[in-house]
Every structure is written in C-alpha cells, then in structure tokens.
Chains A and B, each alone.
Chain A
Amino acid sequence: MIKVIKTPEEYAANLARLHSLLDRDPERDSQLAEEIELLALLLSTYEAVNFDNLSAPSPIEAIRFRMEQLDLAQKDLIKYIGSASRVSEVLSGKRPLTLPMIRSLHEGLGIPADVLIGEQYSDVEVATDTFDITKLPRKEMVRRRWLELPSDHNLRAFIAPVLPYAAAFKRTVHFRGTRNIDTHALVAWLARVWHRAQVEASELPPYEPANLTVDLLSELVRLSSLERGPVIALEFLEHVGVAVVVEPALPRTFVDGVTLFGVQRPIIGLTLRFDRLDNFWYVLLHELSHILLHSLTASLFLDDLESGVVDDLERQADDLATQIAIPEEVWKSSPASKIRTRQAAEHLARQLRISTAIVAGRIRRHYDDYRVLGDLVGQGEVRKLFSGLDWSN
C-alpha cells in the first residue's frame, strides 16, 4: 500500500521502487503506470518540502539592490535593458529579462548570472503551466540518467533553464527544419545540453567574442586532418570559452546541432545524428558561424541541416561554414569543383591540409547527390571518438 512519504528512509525506498517500475516499461493506463504516477507525485511532494528550501533573491530584488549600492537611477539602466519604458516594465515585473539583458546586467553591474537566470526560471514556472510536461520522454530521460526521479517537479526544474529559449519557440529562437518534430523531446535534449554545459564548462576561461575569428576557425578546421581531430577541435574551442556538448539525440528530434547563447558563453550542442566526419565538421562550423554572425540576432539556433529549409540567417551560416572549410576561390580553381573523383577530393584536401571527408562532403552537397564518394566521408568515424556516450539509440 502506498503511503505519504515522511522519512528519508521511506523516500529512498519509494525512489528505488519507482526505478524498478520504470524498468518494467508498463503500458500506458495500466495499473503499474498509475502506481508510477502516484509514486512520482508523493516523491515530488516530499522533495518540495524537504529539499527545496533555499530561495535566491529575485532578479528584480538583485537589480534594485545593485542600483541602490551604485546609486543608479532607472535611466542608468537603459544601456543594459533598452528603452526607459522597457526598464520600467522590467522593474515592475511586467516584462521578463531577455538573455541579452541578462548578459548586459551581468557584465555591466556584476549581478551574478545565476540570480538573473532565476528570473528566467520563475518565468518558466509560468511557461511550464502551458508546457505539457507529461509529453516529455521521461522514460528515456531516466534511462539515460538525465535525472534520477521523473517527478513533475524535477522535470519542470530540468527543462526550466531552456524554456526561455524554447518556450513555444518564439522570436528569439531560430528553428531550421520542417519535419514532424517531437518538440517535447527536443526541449528535453536541449535542457540536457544546457545542464551538461553548466557542469563541464564551469572551469573554462571566459568567452571573449573577439577571440573567436574566421582565421581561428580556419585553423580549427585543419585539425580535421588528424585522426582524433573532432575531439581535439572541441578541446581547442574550450580554450576560447566556447562550450561544446556532444549529446546523442532523442528520437524524432531531427537535430544536428544547436547554438544556444548562454549568459556567460555560447553553448553548442551536437547530436552526431549522422556518424560521418563530413557532417561533424560541417555542423560544427555551421554552429560556430551562427556564433560569429548572429549572437545579437537570436538566442537559439536549432539546426536540422538535412532539411532543405533555409532562410537568410541559415544561408549566411551555411555560406560562412562553407567558406571557412573551403574558401570559394580555392574551391572554384580546384578540380574537385568539376569532377567527383577520389583523387580530386584528396588533392584539394592535401592543398588545404584538411580531411578528405570535408571535401567529399562539399562535393556531395554541391551536386546534391549523396550517392557519390560515400567511402570518403568518414562513415562511422566520429561517434567512436566519443565512446563514453550511449549511442545505442
């Protein structure tokens, strides 16, 4: 018989029971499924009372506190928030902080980013009212150990950081793709990338936009000629403060990569949906191009590069990624732009000191013909470099 949880021992026992039930993969609406829901509710109630008892100051409180400390008037915040009316709306709680605002306030007034993000979390609490968390792939999330207990509360907390970006995919979100995407799975995946970035990038040097240049990326792409190039490239990006997270995709998300402009640094998420070297480099350069070109335009780019849907921003990122990998003037004068032979691809790769897979991928995209040079694109050569991840799906 299921009872209200009162002690840590009962909490642990119920948690174990929940995990064992989840492993049995019960049918929807079955007795076991009902038991899971009930257990999750009891566990989250216990957590709410016993675990969640520390509250940070609200962002508005933090801003007002800092204004008082620095003797600032509302008009002094215009340079961080925008117009006078926008400052007024933010301080009165009528308007949530946007990411560019958070970034400015963090850098300009020294308010801890976590506190300002709290605003986003509380927004999300509102947003999650309309976000149907029951549609999250909670079983898969648990299987992947993204969270221990898939209670509603935990799920809300898990996805909360990315809902400002992803809630309804509003104007600050740029989404390339047309397929029938499971947006809930996509939000879950995005949240996972976010959380991993917070942990794995905590020791990274600060991100300085001026350090990330086209020249630097041209050097980066030369790492492709190395056997462990993808891994070394990600380490290389860490040195300039860009967090890159490789996270296997959830089913029906159809995403190759994401660029998410976090408060402290840009975050790139890669699914390695296609386990090919050419795809890895193209997606990575595409996302880096978004960082170079569009940091002030949108806060999130979700890219299904297989989709034919391309708007101006995507085209710009495509063009820059292509130009960084193989400069147009070099491409045009190369035999690889005219013949689809292994030898021509290898010749250009040697000339540019890059992987042949990148050239082969360019040739395939150029002719929109993916039947050619299939043996040169490094099929199966990427995921094995990230063997610590679960690629079983």
Chain B
Amino acid sequence: MTTRESLYVPVLRARRAEHDALRQISPNVRKLIAPVIEITPAFSEKLSALPPKRIAQAVWRFALGSGGSRELYVDLGNLLEHPEADIICHEFEYLVLSLHADTQLVFHVSDFSKRGIRRAGELLRKNGAAFRVTSADYLSPALSDFITFMKRTALTPADIDLLVDCEMVAEGQKLRGTADRLEKGYNWRSITYIAGSFPASLSAFPKNNEYEVPRIEWQSFSREARSKANVRYGDYTIQHPLQRDPVPFPPSASIRYAGERYWVLMRGEKPGGPNAPGPEQYIGHAFMLRQRSEFCGADFSAGDAYIDFIAGQDVHTGNPTKWIQAGVNHHVTLAAHQLQRLRAA
C-alpha cells in the first residue's frame, strides 16, 4: 500500500502536452502520483472570455481528462484574479464534490486575501487544501494571512498539504530549510518539497549534440530524504520551474529524457533552416536515444513506447508537443518509481 508520504508530486502546466502525458500514465503509476495542475497565464487568458461557470467546467474537464490519479491538486493561478473568481471556485467545488474526487485547490500566500477561495468552503473542509510557498512568499508579510484563512475556512494545518516550492535549484543547494519556520511550527497534513533544475532555454547547449543535464532536485532530495522520511518529493518534470508558457519561437527538434540522475538532452536544431535537416531529426534522435543505456525500454511507459516507435520507422516524426508529451510521461513514470524505491530502501 502506497502511503501519502511516498506519492510523487509532479507540477504540470495546463497544456496539451502535459495533459496527454498524464492521461497516458499507466494505472499502476497513477496510484503513485499526486500531480499539481497549474492553470497557465495563457490558458487563463483563453478562458477569460467564457462565463464563470463555463470556466470552472473547462478547468475541471481539463483536470479530469488528465486524471485517474489518486490525488490531484489544481492551482487556479490567474483565475483567482477573475472578477467572478468566487463563482468559478464555487462551481469548481460543486463539480469536484459531485464526483467524490480527491482534489485539493492550491493557494499561494498572495491568494489568501482573494475572495474567490472562500466560496469553495465545503470542498476545503472535505478535501482540504494545499498551501504553496516559495522562498519569496516565505519572506512576505502576507505569510501570516494563512492563520486568518484557516479560521475563516475552519481548516487546521492538519487539513493542509504544505508545498514548499524551491523553484529553480542550483548544484549543491539544499531543499530542506527553505520554509523552516512553517515546517516545524505546524502539524501539516503533509510536506512536499518541489524543485526543478531543467534549464529555461536549450540555447546554452550547442546544437547537434547529446548532453547529460543533472537532475539536481532529485539528487538533493534523495540525499536529504534519508533524514526526513515523511517529506514528499515533487518536481517540474522536464520543464523550467518558472516558464509557464511556451517559448514564442519555434523550438529546436530536441528530445528531453529523464535518466536516474540526469536528463539526457538530444539537442537538435531548428527544423527547416537553410541547408539544415527538418523534423526527421526527431527520428534520428529517437534512434540514438534508444541506443543509450538510460533508455528504459518500450514497455516502461507510453513515452518510451513512442520513442521506440519513432526510432523504428521512417515516416512519422512527431512534433514539439508530442515530444514534450513523451518526455513528461516517461519522467513522471520514472520519478514515481524512483521515489518508491527510495522509500522502500
């Protein structure tokens, strides 16, 4: 039986690639994860023209479509700035409770003063909520607002999952201690360290080569986990922690693939440039990736099956969205297994 402490918490943006990556997670792995779905600024903007109830339905549909996970967090992001945020939250509460889904809303320090969150009172009382705090939040005077928030919503720390968001971490940086005062002073339902180290841009890596990019967050967590067994692990999969919307220019034909301690980056070049290869680069990279020892085999995950398929033929290349999907799917599967092994050890 998997305990809540051993659930892996991937942070995923509400985008097509991540949505489909989650949808393709195998049932066995779904039991091991509690993803955070972040509503991105772009998605929020797109929804803003809809009536508030329809917005809530769209968000829920999106979250549900990725679903089947044992637990799910939804970070409404900019939607809490919506003039009718209270209606959106209330409708969202209704949808979640009617399906008896184990879903929590995620709140940031800056959210406590927003009226929308108080309208989801019953959802919060039944399912609890998540409190996401970054280093910057931790130093904010508004941090103490969470006491007021809990009183108003009749919650206690035991109803709340604390998501300590370390955001981008560098080599040697410790995850523990990021929010010491909060971690020690309250009896939270759970504490999760979330961090990422995937670079914002691949431009630092010269094109047409293979690289091993350290998964610093996992290396740090696995070192520290021995002394703190009740802390959960979360990461940003193969994305940069702060890059919520995709880069505006066409990306290079590159593949990101998680290994045990580093990502393998198969760095291609922008397809279709003068005297340059096109999207068939993906086939070449997939072929080469399949040769590497880090490749887990076609049966490991849907993402791995996709890589294996593309590598073995000459017609389909996929596109940037499909390759993010495959990379996220593989990463989530691998990290979930890694966490289980770590806990078992």
Contacts and interface: CB of A to CB of B under 8 A. Distances in A.
Contact of A342 (B209, B276, B283, B287): B209
Nearest to A371: B275
B5 interface: no
Nearest to B292: A343
Interface in B36-79: none
Interface stretch (A214-222, A255-263, A331-339, A383-391): A331-339
B275 A335 contact: no
Contacts of A342: 208-209
B275 A339 contact: no
21 contacts: A335-B284, A335-B287, A335-B288, A337-B284, A338-B281, A338-B287, A339-B268, A339-B281, A339-B285, A339-B288, A340-B269, A340-B277, A341-B208, A341-B266, A341-B284, A341-B288, A343-B288, A344-B284, A344-B288, A367-B276, A369-B276
B299 interface: no
A312 interface: no
Contacts of A335: 283-285, 287-288
B291 interface: yes
Contacts of B269: 340
A344 B283 CA distance: 12
A71 B285 CA distance: 73
A372 interface: yes
A301 B282 CA distance: 41
Contacts of A52: none
Nearest to A364: B275
A343 B210 contact: yes
A372 B277 CA distance: 12
A339 B291 contact: no
A29 interface: no
Interface of A: 332-333, 335-344, 347, 367-369, 372-373
B180 interface: no
A339 B208 contact: yes
Contacts of A344: 284, 287-288
Interface residues of B, number: 18
B208 A372 contact: yes
B275 A333 contact: no
Interface string B258-296: 000000001011000001110011011101100100000
B206 to A, nearest CB: 10
Given A336-B284, A342-B209, A347 B291 contact: yes
A73 B288 CA distance: 70
Nearest to B281: A339
A337 to B, nearest CB: 7
A338 B285 CA distance: 8
Contacts of A336: 284
Contacts of B281: 338-339
Interface string B178-206: 00000000000000000000000000000
B291 to A, nearest CB: 7
8 smallest CB-CB distances across A and B, nearest first, come from: A338-B284, A339-B284, A335-B284, A369-B275, A335-B287, A338-B280, A340-B208, A341-B208
Given A367-B276, A368-B275, A347 B208 contact: no
Contacts of A337: 284
Contacts of B288: 335, 339, 341, 343-344, 347
A339 B269 CA distance: 9
Nearest to A336: B284
A368 B276 CA distance: 9
A367 to B, nearest CB: 5
Count chain A CB atoms within 10 A of each CB in B269, B275, B284, B291 and give the residue with the most: B284
Contacts of B276: 367, 369
A343 B284 CA distance: 10
A369 B269 CA distance: 14
B284 A333 contact: no
A372 B275 CA distance: 11
A105 B210 CA distance: 61
Interface string B102-133: 00000000000000000000000000000000
Contacts of B275: 367-369
A340 B284 CA distance: 9
Contacts of B210: 341, 343
Contacts of B208: 339-342, 372-373
A338 B283 contact: yes
B259 to A, nearest CB: 15
Contacts of A339: 208, 268, 277, 281, 284-285, 288
A332 B314 contact: yes
Given A335-B287, A339-B285, A339-B288, 7 more contacts: A338-B277, A341-B210, A341-B288, A342-B209, A343-B288, A344-B288, A368-B275
Nearest to B283: A338
Nearest to A366: B277
A332 B314 CA distance: 9
A333 B281 CA distance: 13
A333 B314 contact: yes
B277 to A, nearest CB: 6
Contacts of A367: 275-277
A373 B209 CA distance: 10
B320 to A, nearest CB: 16
B332 to A, nearest CB: 26
Contacts of B291: 347
Contacts of B268: 339
A332 B313 CA distance: 11
A308 to B, nearest CB: 14
Contacts of A368: 275
A28 to B, nearest CB: 45
Count chain B CB atoms within 10 A of each CB in A332, A333, A339, A347 and give the residue with the most: A339
B276 to A, nearest CB: 7
B9 to A, nearest CB: 34
A68 to B, nearest CB: 66
